[in-house]
Structure 1
Amino acid sequence: MIAPDTVRLALPRLPPYLLVTMTPENILPTYERQAKGFDRNRSKALFERVWLDRLLAHAPQSTGKRRVLDLGCGAGRPIAQYLVDRRVEVTGVDGAAAMVALFQENLPNVRVFHEDMRGLDLQETFDAVIAWDSFFHLSKDDQRAMFKTFAHHLAPRGVLLFTSGPEDSEVIGNVEGEEVYHASLGPDEYRALMTEQGLEVLRYVPEDPECDFHTVWMARLAG
C-alpha cells in the first residue's frame, strides 16, 4: 500500500531496537484509522498500468471472465478499478474493515472479503493473484508462509504479481503521518520460495523506473 520509493529513499534503515514498537501487527490498526486519508491521497496516476497489462497478457482465462484475486486491495482505487474496467472479475481481500467499507463504496458490484491474507483459504482458484504494496507489510516469516497461500489460490498457469523491497531489509515508512513496518527478503530467497511452490519467475525488475521505482515480481504457476 505504500510506495517503495517512500520506503527506500525517504527513510533510513533503522537498527532492530527501534523497530520494537513498529511491528507488522500494527499495520491493520493503522490502516483502520487512516483508511479515508489513504484513499484520498493514494496516487491515482496508475503508474502500475504497465505491470497490470503484463499480468493480463500472461494470465490464463479459465472461465468466461479472467478472475483476479487482489490481496491487500485497500479501497480499490486505482488497481481493482482498472481491472474491472477491463472486464476482469475481481475479488478483493483486505484485513482492515475500514478499507473494505471504502472498497464497497468505490466498487459496489465487486466482491470483497474482510480477511487477513495470512493463512487465507477462499476454497477457490483464480487466474491471477496480486499483492501490490501489501505483502511487504508482513513479517519475514509471514512472507515466507504466503507463497503456499499464493499457489493455493492460483489456477494452473495462473500468474502471481507482487511488490517487495530490492534487498533483504526491514524499514519504517509512513501512511498519513503514522509509522508503518515494511520488510523484504532477498531476491534469491524469493526465487527459492517460489520454486518450492511450483512458481516460475517470468519477470523481476528491482526499483523499476517505469513504475515509480517499485520492485516488482511476476511469476507463473506450473500447470
Structure 2
Amino acid sequence: MNEQSNKDRVYESYNKIVDWYDAHRSRELFEKPYLEAVCDEIRRSSKKILDLGCGTGEPMARYFIEQGFAITGVDASVNMIELARQRFPEQRFIVDDMRNLALGETFDAILAWHSFFHLPPDDQRAMFKVFEQHLNVGGVLLFTTDFAEGEIWSDNGGQNLYHASLSLAEYQYLLALHHFTVLTHKVRDHDCGEATVWLVKYTHKPIR
C-alpha cells in the first residue's frame, strides 16, 4: 500500500526508496543541453557548483565532476548522501535541508533540478533568498517547476511524493525581485519529463 509523503519531510520517503531510485534514475542525460548551458556560463569562473537535492549524484553531479567542476551536494536524505559519498569521495556532500542552508560561501552555479518542486509553496518563495545568499554575482541557477500553480502527489517506488508549484507569473516576479535575469525558460519540456525548466543569472547583490 502506498504511503503519502509528509509535505515537510519528503526526504523521509527518499530514504525508503534510495535503491529503487538509484536503479530507475535515468543516466541518459536528457538534461544535457541545460547542463552544457550552465558550463558555458561559468567556465571562466572558479567552477564551484552547489547541487541542492543532489540525491545519489547520478547523473548530474557526475556530469559536472567529469567536466572539472567541484561539487558541493546537499540533500536531506541520509541514505542518498551516503551513496553519493561512496561514488564521489573527493567531492563534498552534506546532509541538510535546503531550506535551512547557510554555508557561508558562494558558488558559481546552483542546481535545484527535480528537488525544489518538492517544497511547499511558502518554502519555495523563501528559497530565493537562500539562492541569493549562495550565488556569486554572475552565477547561474538551474531549477525545475511544474507549468501551473497547484499541489500533486506522484507514486515513486511505492511512496507518494509531494510536489508543488507556484504560477509561472509568480516565479517571474520572484526572480526579478531577487535580482535574477532569465536566460532560458522552457515550459513543459517533453525531453525532461514535462518539467518546466528555468536557467537564470544572478545579476547583482542588493545594497544592504
Normalised to the residue count of structure 1, the TM-score between the two structures is: 0.87
Give how far 1:214 is off: 2.2
Would you say the 8 A contact 1:70–1:92 is kept in 2? yes
Query: Equivalent of 2:183, from 187, 191, 202?
Result: 202
Q: Does 1:41 align with 2:20?
A: no
Q: Could you tell me the percent identity over the aligned residues?
A: 39
CA gap 1:125/1:70 in 2 versus in 1, 3 angstroms:
same
Name segments (4+ residues, structure 1) moved above 2 Å: 59-63, 209-214
Q: Distance in 1 between matches of 2:191 and 2:152?
A: 23
State the alpha-carbon separation in 2 of the partners of residues 23 and 205 from structure 1: 29
Q: Which amino acid aligns with 2:26?
A: S
Answer yes or no: is the 8 Å Cα contact 1:61–1:67 preserved in 2. Answer: no
Deviation at 1:208, TM superposition (A): 1.3
Secondary structure of 2:101's aligned partner: coil
Matched, 1:216 2:197: yes
Mapped to 2, the partners of 1:100 and 1:117 lie a distance apart of: 13
**Residue 25 (str. 1) matches residue 38 (str. 2):** no
Q: Distance in 1 between matches of 2:65 and 2:16?
A: 27
Residue 104 of structure 2 is aligned with which of 110, 114, 123? 123
* Correspondent of 2:136 among 155, 172, 175: 155
**What residue is the counterpart of 1:105 in the other structure?**
86
**8 Å CA contact 2:144, 2:196 repeated in 1:** yes
Q: How does 1:4-19 map to 2 (within 5 A)?
A: none
What letter corresponds to residue 49 of structure 2 in structure 1?
A: V
SS in structure 1 of the partner of residue 169 of structure 2 = helix
| Partner in structure 1 of residue 74 of structure 2 | 93
**Equivalent residues of 1:60, 1:158 under 8 A apart:** no
Normalization by structure 2: what TM-score?
0.93
Map of 2:40 onto structure 1 = 57
Query: Who is 2:49 aligned against?
Result: 68
Work out the number of aligned pairs and report it.
201
By how many angstroms is 1:37 displaced?
Answer: 1.5
Where 1:158 maps in the other structure, the secondary structure is: strand
Mapped partners of 1:67, 1:80: distance in 2:
12
**Equivalent runs, 1:115-194 vs 2, <5 Å:** 115-194=96-175
* Structure 2 Cα separation of the partners of residues 114 and 150 of structure 1: 18
Gaps of 5+ in 2: none
Q: Which stretch of the first structure deviates more once superposed, 206-215 or 113-122?
A: 206-215
CA deviation string 1:37-93 (max 9, x = no partner):
111211111101111001111236433xx1110000000000000110000111100
Aligned letter for 2:165?
S
Per-residue deviation at 1:213? 2.5
Q: Does the residue aligned with 2:97 lie in a helix, a strand or coil?
A: coil
